[in-house]
Structure 1
Amino acid sequence: MIRQKSRIYGNRLIAMITLVDALSSCWFGYDQGVFAGVLVSENFKEQFPQVRDANISGITSSCFFIGAFLGSMAAFMLGDRLGRRKTIAWGLLCNFLGAILQFTAWHLPQMIIGRLINGFGIGLTSTTTPVFLSECAKSHQRGKLVVIGTASNVTSFALANWIAYALYSQNGPFQWRFPLAFQVVYFFMIAPILLLVPESPRWLLLAGKEESALGVLSQLAGKDIPMNDDTVTGEFRSIKVAIELEREDRAPIMDVLCFRDKTHNFRRLILSCGTQFMQQFSGINALGFYLPTLLAENVGFSQEMSRLIAAVSGTVYLVSAFGSVIIIDTLGRRKMLLCGSIAMGICHLIASLCLRSSELDISGKKLMGNVTTAMFIVFHVFFGLTWACVPWVYSAEVNSLGWRSRGAGAATATNWLGGFVVTQFTKVGIDNLNWAFYLIFAVFCFSYFPIVLLFYPETSNRTLEDMDYMFIQNPSIFVLGRQEMTQRRRPASFATAEADRISRG
């Protein structure tokens, strides 16, 4: 069998699929960062005077997260029916429409509706693009490639902060309308690439399109590699048998919810949702959306300096996020999460104690303010290296093929719902609790260490089909002390099980 001729194959095709994920993540990151600068624009406050109220300001920011939550739930319910490419395409269209409504807004309801629609689209794309990439990439590349997408998120987050700083001297509507309008650039970058890449081979097999799946696998394998190549057919059989075994062992929904199914699908869904919940309650969006406001109102910097520090912090965040590309497959997912939780907790603890000290001793307010600012920047370093990237990789890896779209949808919905809660109540929390607000995030971060240590298995250097075998062979919810569940290297028993699947196929 010879596949249909294509100019895109092998590493070039993987690069284009990575680019779809990376650019979609760029749009996602830009939307997370852009509104922090918009909210402090004087012309924006004049155009929408209602946002001077902390609660209205909070809902205007956080309604984006409500839309994204709904988009993630739509991906949860429809992702396996539509396929990966169609789900991403619908997300892009919603993003485009939402962006237009925002930068042309003259009344607050239009702005809120635009942010809701924009959020819905981001919910669809942020759920689906990491899954799409993880289903096409090889196991030894998967972590790095998905992290590139997540790091691209931070790239645009930093870009949004620098645009806000660059437009500080602008006094008119251009100061906030241009940053919101800039979003549409991403649509025209992603859409042409999406038209050129094929559907995920694993989804095609899940949908019963075996010949198409075999063709895509050969296309991913490299130039002039036929569909009957041993490597291609071996991977095809391994995936196909894994799907058949999953369907044979499919349990009633109540058994799934009570952890009585062999492959522990609900447990795996909870694990993926847990990483996203912990990511949001680390405090990243409290700083992402409100850092300029916090620095101006609580630390005492000028508006210009607050924007500059936010931009610098975003750039540091960007560099550290790309640093995680180097270490994610070297250290593994567990070690990164464990180390990051302690480091982030220490940053929040020191920042809160410094703010408390500045309240007690006015003469030391400037020094304590500088230390607090430094801790916010250092927090971004450790977050970027660890928790910024790993949850997105983890949720794309840990779920079974039949539950991967649902698991990613539920995990991303958890991320957005957590982001909504944190963003909505950050300003109110700081106004009422002052320094103690950051102490809450410190407690959260420290609590993540025992949770990951006890419950989270390693997923690096495993094929996506290894995950079912791993949970079947290790049904206990506790992973500490179980080498197959925690070691970074792929266990030999997993390779043996894969060879058995290929022979059965």
Structure 2
Amino acid sequence: MYRISNIYALAAFGTIGGALFGFDISSMSAWIGAPQYLEYFNHPDSNLQGGITASMSAGSFVGAVGSGWLSDHLGRRGSLMVASIVWVIGSALQCSAQNVAHLIVGRVVSGLSIGVTSSQVCVYLAELAPGRIRGRIVGIQQWAIEWGILIMYLISYGCSRGIQGPGAFRLAWGIQGVPGIVLLVALFFFPESPRWLASKERWEECLDTLAMLHSKGNRDDPVVVAEYEEVKEAANIAAQSKDVNFLGLLGKKMWKRTAAGMSVQMWQQLLGGNVAMYYIVYLLSMAGMSGNTALTSSIIQYVIFLVTTGLIIPIVDRIPRRLLLISGAIVCMALHFATAGLMASYGYPVDSVGDNPNLRWVIHGPAAKGVIACSYIFVAVYGLSWAPAGWIYCSEVFPLKYRAKGVGLSAATNWIFNFAIAYFVAPAFTNIVWKTYIIFGVFCFAMTVHIFFTYPETAGRTLEEIDLVFDTNTPPWKTGRLAPNAFQERLEQVKQKKERDFPGASEHEHV
């Protein structure tokens, strides 16, 4: 069967899995203020709305936890096929929702799919892409999420304006199934990950896939031969441990990687992106916007998000990961504190905003414009830094034998905090209002300190070189200065020491 070999084409189709995440985000955020949705579901209060919004994240957490096992047994491609089918089922359940419970079940099922795709698309693309462009290839996953957010929001906007009654949201939620079908069909023409093939000792297929991806089928190309040898050496680790489990991620040589992968996903959520994405309509309503004006302003924010991430992806591999993460956290911290200050100084409490009793704070005039500007700038900074860098970093830090489970656990961390934040923000806007932004500002400060002292630099390294970054005693803030030849020298030193201590060991082990 014909296989797609262009890495950018593979990324474009593969990251439809990310677009599914984006579809589900705006399939809810676009409707929480719409009369068709509110009337049909009996105007859910802030706690119930938080639960509806967060139900997708709950399913995604379960899906992400199980994604490593699924990916290791069925292959990266096979796990994404299963996720595509589950997504279509979830879309059908949401489209046919008769009550809140039915809707929540549909969102949980869709979440199971997103849990798999959000973690394993990163693994799959990281294992297909050459080290020099791995960041931009994996980063396309985040860009696809943003395309999904914008496209679904526009679909929902059109449905809400053109269709009266529940048919409006049913049509929008039914359309969600289309990209899942497209992804399923495309996967039949994808190659399997060469590193997964190596882990199953399918060496001929592994070499053929590497040759197809990097040299148009020439198995003797020096680049192909060099990468094949690296993959073989890394696969020796997996051969020594047939029954890899989650406890291994907490072992002596793995806990730092696990902590980095999990915490970068935790911090991505605690940065406050969900405040801007899930509940932008709430913020705009408190700033005095409603109807078409609020919807149009929401679209502007999603376009900003899309454009900024699109600008950073082509150059993301030229910028240190640590610089993106730390600078993004600092600027976002300042924006959160500025938003809180404006709302506290120029806003005042009310019984309700329009017909929405969940909102009890308003702000008018120039200060309202300042709050909206802060939200727009926040989304721009988020799109330039944490949105792509968080997913890229967690896909890089794990060695082959733990990669699927490690990235799955990292994604599960993202989803459990996504669930918590999605549930928390709706009642927070009702009860503590501007103090919500103070909380997220403090989180940004904490992550800045944590990243500086614990995250090694991974940009521009092969996945095998990153293994050595974590195994050296170099302080994380100095790892960006390690020259490429330092990795080879370190590898040779380790091999020589093992050969002296355990003759023949270097033929079977790789550190």
TM-score, shorter chain, exceeding 0.5: yes
- The answer to which of 327-336 and 61-70 deviates more is 327-336
Whether the 8 Å CA contact 1:58–1:427 is kept in 2: the answer is yes
SS in 1 for 2:31: helix
CA distance in 1, matches of 2:156, 2:247: 51
Q: 1:316 to 1:454 in 2, by over 3 A?
A: same
The Cα of 1:125 is off from its aligned counterpart by: 1.0
Matches of 2:178 and 2:206 in 1, distance apart?
Answer: 32
Does residue 1:273 correspond to 2:262, yes or no? Answer: yes
Asked if structure 2 preserves the Cα contact closer than 8 Å seen for 1:75 and 1:127, the reply is: yes
Q: How much has 1:315 moved relative to structure 2?
A: 0.5
Residue 36 of structure 2: aligned partner: 43
Matched to 2:329, the amino acid is S
| Distance in 1 of aligned mates of 2:490 and 2:347 | 61
Structure 1 residue 92 displacement after superposition: 0.6
Cα offset, 1:416, TM superposition = 0.8
Task: Give the 5 Å matches for 1:34-433.
Answer: 34-49=27-42, 51-170=43-162, 171-226=164-219, 228-245=220-237, 248=240, 259-260=251-252, 264-296=253-285, 298-359=286-347, 365-433=364-432
Aligned to 1:440: 439
1:248 to partner: Cα distance? 4.9
CA, structure 1 residues 17+490, in 2 after alignment: closer, same or farther (shift >3 Å)? farther
Q: Distance in 2 between matches of 1:364 and 1:336?
A: 33
1:194-232 alpha-carbon deviations (Å, 9 max, x no partner): 101111000111112112111111111222413x44432
Code of the residue aligned with 1:460 in structure 2: it is A
Q: Distance in 2 between matches of 1:363 and 1:405?
A: 46
Letter aligned with residue 396 of structure 2: E
**In structure 2, do the counterparts of structure 1 residues 461 and 412 end up closer, same or farther at CA, with 3 Å as the change threshold?**
same
Distance of 1:377 and 1:283 partners within structure 2: 13
**C-alpha spacing 1:21/1:490, structure 2 compared with 1 (3 Å):** farther
Asked if the contact 1:36/1:288 (under 8 Å) is kept, the reply is: yes
Aligned-residue offset at 1:246: 6.0
Secondary structure, counterpart of 2:267 in structure 1: helix
Deviation, structure 1 residue 300: 2.1
Letter paired with 1:424? Y
SS of residue in 2 equivalent to 1:52: coil
Which runs of no fewer than 5 residues in structure 2 stay unpaired? 350-360, 496-505
Q: Is residue 309–residue 387 contact of structure 2 (8 Å, CA) maintained in 1?
A: yes
Matched to 1:479, the amino acid is: P
Deviations 1:75-127 (A, max 9, x none): 13332122101111111111000001101212222211111100001111111
Q: Deviation of residue 283 (structure 1)?
A: 1.2
Deviations 1:275-333 (A, max 9, x none): 1100101111122111112321x222113222111111010011011112133112121
1:491 corresponds to which residue?
484
Q: Which stretch of the first structure deviates more once superposed, 441-450 or 390-399? A: 441-450
Compared with structure 1, are the counterparts of its residues 188 and 60 closer, same or farther at alpha carbon in structure 2 (3 Å cutoff)?
Answer: same
Look up the equivalent residue of 2:282 and give its one-letter code.
T
Q: For residue 47 of structure 1, what is the amino acid of its counterpart?
A: Y
Distance in 2 between residues matched to 1:233 and 1:187, nearest whole Å: 36
Query: With structure 2 as the length reference, what TM-score do the two structures score?
Result: 0.89
CA pair 248-472 structure 1, distance change in 2 beyond 3 A: farther
Q: Per the alignment, in what secondary structure is the counterpart of residue 387 of structure 2?
A: coil
Report the counterpart of residue 454 of structure 2 in structure 1. 455
Equivalent-residue separation in structure 2 for 1:183 and 1:401 (angstroms): 33
Aligned partners of 2:177, 2:248: CA distance in 1, in Å?
A: 42
Is the CA contact 2:343–2:363 (under 8 Å) kept in the aligned structure 1? no
Given the superposition, is the C-alpha separation of residues 71 and 7 from structure 1 closer, same or farther in structure 2, using an over 3 Å criterion? Answer: closer
Number of corresponding residues: 485
Quick one: distance in 2 between partners of 1:332 and 1:467? Answer: 14
> SS of the counterpart of 2:57?
helix
Q: Could you say what secondary structure the match of 2:15 adopts?
A: helix
RMSD: 2.6
Q: Distance in 1 between matches of 2:456 and 2:226?
A: 27
Q: 1:132-158 CA deviation, whole Å, 9 max, x = no partner?
A: 011011001111111122112111212
Q: What residue identity is the alignment partner of 1:304?
A: N
Aligned to 1:468: 467
* SS class of match (1:39): coil
Once structures 1 and 2 are overlaid, which stretch shifts more, 214-223 or 66-75?
A: 214-223
AA of the residue aligned to 2:304: V
Separation in 1, partners of 2:156, 2:20: 16
- Give the direction of change, closer, same or farther, for the CA distance of 1:255–1:374 in structure 2 (3 Å limit): closer
The superposition leaves residues 145-191 of structure 1 with CA deviations (integer Å, 9 ceiling, x where unpaired) of 11122112111212223333334434322331222112112023212
Identity %: 27
* Structure 1 contact 349–438 (Cα < 8 Å) conserved: yes
Deviation of 1:8 (Å) = 4.0
